Structure 1
């Protein structure tokens, strides 16, 4: 990302008319920085030269500026797509956490040995047998292992 910022500054410096001073300095770790504001350190002013008598931008500098704008728009679109993907991942993760929480509650109910009731075709209560309870508990545990063990 820092490389992109450096490229953007170079494009802007090369294509825009010199209206403000650009400062250049090197930090303690040896990285070169450019800014339109003085960092208060030993910064040198970078002179941007413009052709004498030229009030308008040349076609090549205008193309360069257009390319810079195109590049910045593409970069923003990329960021927007990445933010959207991250939002989808977060939503899916939240949904999975809810699913796993429900599974864990079901497993806990089966482990505690509660009487489990279901309704038959006539709408009457039927209690699950111990084997049916173990089978259901096994299904929930298998789903937990498949989907939730890594969370």
Structure 2
């Protein structure tokens, strides 16, 4: 809701209601009708009792202003929370994008490699068997699927 619309709603809530006249008349078929302007000479003005809205009975201008300030503060807090959530979502998307690129690069480079190996404690290479390589590639593919949704 934009600021202007909120201001209109708030002013409507806290302002005194202005009622136009309400007129009642009966047509030739005996049906009763109501309107905001007299239709004929037989139209009679109906007096409507104004019931005070909840919370505004006897409120002083200062009390109404305090209520309006609280409402505006709540709107500001809500906007701030939405902005923060949007920023977090953007950061999460950027993080996922980076991890997706990394996962794809790793999968593609390991897929093209002739042999995949790990280093032993003594520094020598230990090449993966075909079954180990297949399992390793499945894990890399799962990473791609996880980050690149």
Q: Which runs of 5+ in 1 are unaligned?
A: 16-57
Matched residues in 1 for 2:134 and 2:144: separation? 15
Residue in structure 2 matched with residue 109 of structure 1 by the alignment: 109
Q: Provide the residue aligned with 1:131 in structure 2.
A: 131
DSSP 3-state at the match of 1:136: helix
Question: What SS does the corresponding residue of 1:141 show, helix, strand or coil?
Answer: helix
- TM (normalized to structure 1)? 0.59
Mapped to 2, the partners of 1:8 and 1:80 lie a distance apart of 20
| Greater relative CO (CA pairs within 8 A, separation 6+) | 1
Corresponding residue for 1:8?
10
- Alignment length, in residue pairs? 106
Change (3 A) 1:11 1:65: farther
Alpha-carbon distance in structure 2 between the residues aligned to 1:78 and 1:140: 41
Structure 2 unaligned segments of length 5 or more: list them.
17-57
Alignment map for 1:1-150 (pairs within 5 Å): 1=1, 3-10=5-12, 14=15, 60-145=60-145, 147-150=146-149
Segment of structure 1 superposing worse, 123-132 or 134-143: 123-132
Shift of 1:9: 4.1
**TM-score, with normalisation over the residues of structure 2?**
0.60
The CA deviation string for residues 52-96 of structure 1, in whole angstroms up to 9 with x for no partner, is xxxxxx961221111111111110011111111111111122111
